[in-house]
Amino acid sequence: MPAILINSRVADFKVWQRVFEEHEPVRKAASVTSATVWQAQDDPNNIFVLLECTDLGKIKLFGESEELKMAMARSGVLGQPTMNILGECWKYPRQATYRE
């Protein structure tokens, strides 16, 4: 399942979190099936978000949308987030279907 890993700095995590939670229906429409958020241990305003999705095309359009840009502005995202599109993954211990 494709995923996107995003790293952002925010002005205030609680403000960002509220907007992120309000934005869930938009993520679901963009094929996001799960979202996991981490805060850096030494800086709670340095966040990492893993979005798993079913349609890479939809999630790319979501990432370029004006709606997302407005939500990022409202939530206090500082600067440009770093986004990495992730492909195939392996879970450890290795699954029986692991391919070498």
Domain limits of the chain? 3-86
Q: What topology does CATH give the domain 3-86? A: Alpha-Beta Plaits (3.30.70)
> 50-54: which pairs have CB atoms within 8 A and are 24 or more residues apart?
50/3, 50/4, 50/5, 50/6, 51/3, 51/4, 51/6, 51/27, 52/1, 52/2, 52/3, 53/1, 53/2, 53/3, 53/4, 54/1, 54/2
pLDDT, tens digit (0-9, with 9 covering 90-100), for 9-54: 999 999 999 999 999 999 999 999 999 999 999 999 999 999 999 9
79: pLDDT strictly greater than 90? yes
| pTM attached to this predicted model | 0.85
